[in-house]
């Protein structure tokens, strides 16, 4: 069974940033990671519908600017910008909630590339309640597990098992993934200016959610 290397999660760079999107006050949860491949291959890995299911859920749709997409069992939306092999921006829609995801690739060597993922949400009253409870890890841990799956696929050519399996996420290896990620997002939250006690409460709530230990 191909399981993710927790050390990769320790190398992910995490930030929380205030921003503005479409004229709205917004907040971005940002994760950056480096991969040992060139920018063309990394772009193909994250946009080719045949390769995406090897590290993420299957995605269907029209993979071009203005096209719509649907993640199996998850969000869907519209591809707002697409500039191969550098960047794309899309809406991330679940029910009535609309947020945005921007992915940017940067070549760092002939066989090395960095990926920066920003999940941007408008600052709203309901959103602030959710943020207070879970903090950046609510979306950050999920994206970390996807970035880990991408790392494993590029390294081994195989899909990582367990990132969407409640049984494995509740196992010792799964808990190590989630704890490492949650700890990283707590630090990002503290760097953003969160109170220590509130940041710890959010870390625990997020960890319990992903490992299935919560109510």
Per-residue model confidence as pLDDT tens digits over 186-202: 999 999 999 999 999 99
**Within-domain flag for 119:** yes
**Within-domain flag for 25:** yes
Domain that holds residue 144: 6-211
Per-residue model confidence as pLDDT tens digits over 42-75: 999 999 999 999 999 999 999 999 999 999 999 9
What CATH number is attached to the domain comprising 72?
A: 3.30.530.20
Q: How many CB atoms lie within 10 A of CB 105?
A: 21
Q: What pTM was computed for the model?
A: 0.94
**Within-domain flag for 128:** yes
**Within-domain flag for 40:** yes
Q: Note whether 185 and 206 are within 8 A (CB).
A: yes
Per-residue model confidence as pLDDT tens digits over 82-123: 999 999 999 999 999 999 999 999 999 989 999 999 999 999
**Within-domain flag for 168:** yes
C-alpha pair distances (Å), 56 with each of 26, 34, 89: 26, 18, 17
| Domains held by the chain: number | 1
**Within-domain flag for 1:** no
**Within-domain flag for 23:** yes
């Amino acid at each position: 069974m191909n399981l993710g290397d927790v050390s990769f999660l320790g190398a992910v760079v995490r930030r929380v940033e205030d921003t503005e999107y479409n004229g709205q006050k917004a907040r971005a949860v940002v994760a950056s990671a480096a991969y040992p491949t060139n920018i063309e291959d990394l772009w193909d890995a994250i946009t080719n519908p045949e390769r995406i299911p090897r590290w993420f859920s299957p995605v269907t749709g029209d993979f071009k600017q203005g096209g719509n997409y649907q993640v199996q069992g998850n969000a869907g939306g519209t591809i707002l910008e697409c500039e191969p092999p550098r960047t794309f921006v899309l809406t991330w829609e679940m029910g009535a909630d609309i947020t945005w995801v921007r992915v940017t690739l940067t070549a760092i060597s002939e066989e090395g590339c960095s990926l920066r993922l920003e999940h941007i949400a408008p600052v709203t009253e309901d959103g602030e309640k959710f943020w207070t409870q879970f903090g950046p890890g609510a979306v950050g841990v999920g994206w970390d597990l996807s970035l880990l799956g991408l790392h494993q696929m590029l390294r081994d050519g195989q899909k990582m098992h367990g990132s969407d399996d409640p049984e494995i996420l509740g196992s010792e290896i799964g808990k190590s993934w989630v704890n490492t990620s949650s700890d990283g997002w707590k630090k990002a939250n503290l760097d953003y200016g969160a109170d220590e006690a509130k940041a710890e409460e959010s870390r625990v709530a997020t960890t319990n959610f992903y490992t299935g230990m919560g109510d």
